Amino acid sequence: MKSQRRVIGSRLMVPLFVTTALCACSQSALLPLPPLPDLESLNSVPREQLRQRHAAVAALLRTGATEPEQLGYAFGQLGEIFHAYMDVTSAQTCYVNANALQPDVFRWAYLLGQAERTLGNHDAATSVFERALALRPDDVPTLVWLAEIDLEQHRLTSARRRFHQARAADPGCVKAYFGLGLVALEEDDYARGIGHLEKALAAQPEASPVLYNLALAYRGLRDMERAATLFEQSKEPHTPISFEDPLLGEVGNLRESANVYVRRGMMAADRGHFTAATQEFGRALAANPERMATRYNFASALLKLGRRREALGQLQELIEQVPRYSRGRVLLAKALADDGDDARAEEHLRRAAEFDPDSGHVHLALGNLLRNNGRFEEALASYRRAQQLDPGAGAARFGVSITLVQLSRYEEALTTTEGSVRALPDNRELKTVLARLLAAAPMDSLRDGMRALRLATAAAAGHHTVTLAETRAMALAELGRFDEAAGWQQAALEGARNAEGVFEWVPRRLSLYKQEIACRRPWEPGERISSLRIEGGGSDR
């Protein structure tokens, strides 16, 4: 049983009177130099950063006759490194000393305010930020942070005043308008809130916090339609309000760790900048070669760049490092399959299934591989297992449906897909399969052209792709509207014309419609859901 002891979390209450009473003359009045963390457990870059800056301060303290400016600067620099690596308590101590030694330096006052705020010491943060403001009036970041603390403490008058000051200093400051909007909403003054938030939105139309609060404001005015639209727009992915905080940015840029490289890599990958992503992931691995998630991401980015050999090498190493890492084996299998080595791909997937029998992801990947090789019964078993393990996985349900179609078990496919569409009503692929079954199943008793057209239209809303155009054509043909069907099929043909891959069925279906014959094969062997876009398209009557 662990012993009980009093802990006050990560806060360190530093009485303000200490910062004002310290004079620039006596080192003995300073707070003690914070100790270094266990350096041996750190990676080389942060270790050296901390060691150097800590040694610099220690050396100056040893001489005892250092100029306050020099010692203050050294403490500030050390504080920034502690701050960069999230040791905010040690950073706070250093900043307190830096402020005492260099009370007229805005930088230390500002960063001390940030440290106090991070530690939850709002009163101390307010006091220090106010000192910073006295040194640099109209500093927008300082005004904004002060205002936000006021808002958190429900000091609305003060918050309003500071946000207005920030706005006056920088008329383009979205945070200022946003803050004024929040103040108004705290007072249930929705009209005024809307005024401010609309200005914020004009400056940054995609800012999620603005969209969300604007929605709340319109809801407050009972304009539910406008509110609903804004709520929808505010959904994830979250886009924060753009706000430049140069000093905090400088502190953040000091950080050099695998974590930082990984974050940069992920951001680059999210934007589709895979070359930059591989560079960052590579640096992260060099700093910490044992991070398997990083090696996975590195390999993934390499695959996006078409650097398959390198990716395979990384994945092989990953599997050797952590043999039971099923996700790594799945990606390796995919890379091998893309390389044409289905046998080895299957081997890895089956091994992954041994290590991780409850992974829906593994069974899904196996199902896909087997289906691609025409082993439909085996694929069906894998897809069903994947669905059982993860009923919310649309891909597994799609796999079950499409495999039943390819086994010509149309009635079962229809019943199963109906159930899947009920469970996942927003899944486009499942709606597509259902629409095609209703449009083109060989048995008369299964077809329902009107329902097929409704589903095909719903699935295609905002998405003009080859597959969806063909689906709509099938439904129209089933209803005897062959001219329209041909129009949509022609559009699909145009879209597929210059694409890689097999699309031989596209002109074949067009030929059928021109002969006023409806399609009776919902899906061709080897046919995939295509994301190729079409221009224009046909039109429905």
Among 25, 55, 58, 86, binds other proteins (CB under 8 A): 86
According to the binding rule CB under 8 A, does residue 358 interact with other proteins?
A: yes
Q: Peptide bond before 442: cis, by omega within 30 degrees of 0?
A: no
**For residues 56 and 423, which CB has a smaller minimum distance to other proteins in the complex?**
423
Site for other proteins in 497-536 (CB under 8 A): none
**Chain-centroid distance, C-alpha 110:** 30
Site for other proteins in 268-327 (CB under 8 A): 287-288, 291-293, 324-327
Among 20, 26, 52, 153, binds other proteins (CB under 8 A): 153
**For residues 259 and 415, which CB has a smaller minimum distance to other proteins in the complex?**
259
Closest approach of other proteins to the CB of residue 495, in Å:
29
**For residues 348 and 521, which CB has a smaller minimum distance to other proteins in the complex?**
348
**For residues 152 and 339, which CB has a smaller minimum distance to other proteins in the complex?**
152
Yes or no: say if 151 and 157 are a contact pair by the CB < 8 Å rule: no
Choose one: 73-81, 85-93, 101-109, 132-140; the region binding other proteins (CB under 8 A): 85-93
Q: How far is CA 172 from CA 83, 150, 169, 203, 226, in A?
A: 29, 21, 9, 7, 25
Among 20, 26, 43, 52, binds other proteins (CB under 8 A): 43
Among 236, 377, 500, 535, binds other proteins (CB under 8 A): 236
Closest approach of other proteins to the CB of residue 357, in Å:
9
242: left (phi over 0), alpha (psi -120 to 50) or beta: beta
According to the binding rule CB under 8 A, does residue 391 interact with other proteins?
A: yes
Residue 134 DSSP SS3: helix
What residues contact 42, with CB distance under 8 A and at least 6 apart?
50
According to the binding rule CB under 8 A, does residue 243 interact with other proteins?
A: no
Strand partners, 505: none
According to the binding rule CB under 8 A, does residue 457 interact with other proteins?
A: no
**For residues 122 and 264, which CB has a smaller minimum distance to other proteins in the complex?**
122
**For residues 37 and 68, which CB has a smaller minimum distance to other proteins in the complex?**
37
Burial class (CB in 10 A: 0-12, 13-18, 19+), 282: middle
According to the binding rule CB under 8 A, does residue 42 interact with other proteins?
A: yes
Yes or no: say if 421 and 427 are a contact pair by the CB < 8 Å rule: yes
Sequential DSSP letters for 209-254: HHHHHHHHHHHHTT-HHHHHHHHHHTPSSP-PPP---HHHHHHHHT
Among 67, 137, 238, 516, binds other proteins (CB under 8 A): 238
* DSSP strands (E only) in 116-184: none
According to the binding rule CB under 8 A, does residue 182 interact with other proteins?
A: yes
